[in-house]
Chain A
Amino acid sequence: MILAVASGKGGTGKTTVSANLARVAGQHVQLLDCDVEQPNAHLFLKGTLHSREEVCVPVPRVDESLCTGCGECSSFCRFHAIASLDTGAIVFPELCHGCGGCSLVCPRKAITEQDHRIGVIEIFKTGSMTLIQGKLDIGAAMASSLIRAAKARLSREISAILDTPPGTSCPVITAIRDADLVILVTEPTPFGLHDLKLAVDMVRELEIPHGVVINRVGSGDDRARVYCRENHIPVLMEFPEDREIAQAYSKGELIVDTLPVYRRPFENLLSKSLEFHQSSIRSDEHADL
């Protein structure tokens, strides 16, 4: 089972939820930090580095002696990663998504591909848990390519929890695509609700079963709860606004380790998520009949 933790708004508690869930899973579990622009789950799960590998995307290299400046490559590239002039072509590797289309459309076969590094994937082992994190190089922009590479490292035999980037753009879609369940973390503020709605639209579009965790309850009002009720979205758990949680977080401690009172709620969240996943499979089967 793949459980993704996402949110429209940043700073609602995705990493807190995913890292603590992974800890209470109490069995072999994989935690995948998909927030490759600023992976931070490793701060809470101090493990030993098991492996590190480079991730590259294939970018075009133009043989100037063959290029006639016909422009087929640049008109094909929707990302404008290759410009074509009478004098030849100019490649912008940092804009390239590595699709290989330019080399296919070049009538002179002047384009070959070469690897362009975008980041690394690091695997940490801590207890029975495996933490996989993508780390995008500074200046690199192809977060989705790195997320795909990191997801390819997941073992299908073991359950996985995915900590995703905030927002609803390409990297988030890449991260949650093919997840069995998405937990959307929000906070009971106007901003929190606004971005929750965007995130709900996203998971509905992708047709992924989803539930909501409302974090920092007491810091705002009732709006997130009301929205979920009116839209028939299950609220899987609520966590209160608690200074002790913030203190533990600031020291890189897991709440379930430092504040035992929160162990049970996280265990409940995990079991509710599993139940919800099971029931969504059953309703799917029912729909198929």
Chain B
Amino acid sequence: MKVAFSTSGNTLNDPLDRRFGRAPKFLVYDTETESFDVVDNEQNLNAPQGAGIQSAQIVAGTGAGHLVTGHCGPNAFKVLQAAGIKIYNAEAATIADALKLFLAGALKPSGSADVEGHWV
């Protein structure tokens, strides 16, 4: 099972980024091998619009079935949901903390976007 985290860093000790669409990177953790890959999302930092949509496609492309992030807007949510990815809103400081919560079953999948879009 693969779990994606929004982040600005490259390790498990780096912060969980509160933003989804404009997170600089995604860390994708594989619970079976207990290893991870980091996927770049820099191109969406300055996207004029639709950053969440594009980021959702990137996460879908990693094969992750779960996404742990701070907040998720309506367009990103729509794409993630269509891709069958479960979304968890977390307040954890680091990815390691968020992963611990996720593995303990302390995070509940979100049924809707938790913030407004920035565009419409």
Contact = CB atoms under 8 A, between A and B. Distances in A.
B50 A92 contact: yes
Interface stretch (B4-12, B53-61, B90-98): B53-61
Interface stretch (A31-39, A74-82, A143-151): A74-82
Nearest to A75: B57
- The number of chain A residues touching the other chain, given as a range, is 10 to 19
A17 B54 CA distance: 43
Given A79-B49, A79-B50, A92-B50, A85 B119 contact: no
A139 interface: yes
Given A79-B50, A80-B53, A84-B57, A141 B120 contact: yes
Interface string B37-60: 000000000011111011011001
B57 A83 contact: yes
B79 A90 contact: yes
Nearest to B117: A94
A85 B82 contact: yes
Contact of B47 (A80, A83, A86, A87): A80
Contacts, number: 46
Nearest to B79: A83
Nearest to A85: B83
Contacts of B49: 79-80, 95
A252 to B, nearest CB: 31
Nearest to B50: A80
A239 B36 CA distance: 65
A83 B120 contact: no
Given A80-B47, A85-B83, A87-B83, A92 B57 contact: no
B57 A95 contact: no
B115 to A, nearest CB: 17
B75 interface: yes
Interface residues of B, number: 17
Contacts of A81: 50
Contacts of A83: 53-54, 56-57, 79, 82
Contact of A85 (B50, B54, B60, B120): B60
Contacts of A87: 82-83
Contacts of B120: 94, 139, 141
Given A79-B50, A83-B56, A85-B60, A95 B119 contact: yes
B51 A80 contact: yes
Interface string B59-94: 010000000000000010011001100000000000
Contacts of B60: 85-86
Interface in A89-104: 90, 92, 94-95
Contacts of B83: 85-87
A38 B53 CA distance: 28
A90 B79 CA distance: 7
A74 B54 CA distance: 8
A95 B53 CA distance: 11
Given A84-B57, A85-B57, A85-B60, A95 B82 contact: no
17 contacts: A74-B54, A79-B48, A79-B50, A80-B53, A83-B54, A83-B56, A83-B79, A85-B57, A85-B60, A85-B79, A85-B82, A85-B83, A86-B60, A86-B83, A94-B120, A95-B49, A139-B120
Interface of B: 47-51, 53-54, 56-57, 60, 75, 78-79, 82-83, 119-120
Given A80-B51, A83-B79, A84-B57, 7 more contacts: A79-B49, A80-B47, A80-B49, A83-B56, A85-B79, A85-B83, A95-B50
